[in-house]
Amino acid sequence: MPKLPQDQLYHLFADTRSCLGIANFGDVISNLGFLIVGVLGLGKLKKLYFMGRFQSIGEISPYIIFFLSVAFVAPGSAYYHANPDNDRLFWDRLPMTVAFTSLFGAILIDRIEVFLARKLAGKLIALLIFLGLASLIYWQQTESIGSGDLRPYILVQFYPLIALPLVCWLYPLSKHTSGKYLAWMYVWYALAKALEYFDVEIYSLLGNAISGHSLKHLAAAMAVYMVVLMLEKASLGGIR
């Protein structure tokens, strides 16, 4: 593929209304969903830890990083949507990138050999997060010199979506990562991307009540909530 600079039309969202002194209120306030599910996830992890469901720090740390990152998506995305541009978009994508890579690592650790959780988990998560951040910094730096390139960032975001079904098929046994809930996570994420793409059309269809992009934030938060439900199910012993 040729280099892919950031399309500046991306920053033009349908709902630009202000409310309570907050610009682009709908797209800003809808990010609260990420904060809510992030906090819910951390609370679930605390409960499971004291129940002894995680045998090592290597098992639980990727999920801690994931839910913390999701919680930080809320201020990062709100900051971007208050005045959308490339510079602010970096802070929107930063916590999302850490969330993508840490969850990918968590599923790999759970599915592919238990020893990873004890010996290689920390190094694996650190490597994945490093690669994710490197792709984001690369995009930012290439944009700053007028030769923006999103290809590595796109790879970091979408490769796990392609790889995980194969991983789950090849390694069906799991302790924490139910294929059922991962499938629902995919459904909600696909819906989020569709809502994002049809931002203007949905805003018009709903009588300018709420935009597709605002609904995208809520659908993406629901995708994260599937991970919360997945861990809760695992705590009850119903996993595979």
pLDDT tens digit at each of 240 positions of the chain: 899 999 999 999 999 999 999 999 999 999 999 999 999 999 999 999 888 888 777 788 999 999 999 999 999 999 999 999 999 999 999 999 999 999 999 998 888 865 555 567 778 889 999 999 999 999 999 999 999 999 999 999 889 989 999 998 988 888 888 888 999 999 999 999 999 999 999 999 999 999 999 999 999 999 999 999 999 887 665 444
| Residues 172, 206: Cα–Cα separation, whole Å | 42
- Residue among 41, 28, 21 nearest 75 (CA): 28
Q: What's the burial of 173, exposed, middle or buried (CB within 10 Å: 0-12/13-18/19+)? A: exposed
| pTM exceeding the 0.85 threshold for the entire prediction | yes
pLDDT digits (tens, 9 = 90+) for 172-221: 888 888 888 999 999 999 999 999 999 999 999 999 999 999 999 999 99
- Residue pair 202/147 in contact (Cβ under 8 Å)? The answer is no
Q: Please give the Cα distance from 68 to 41 (Å, whole number).
A: 9
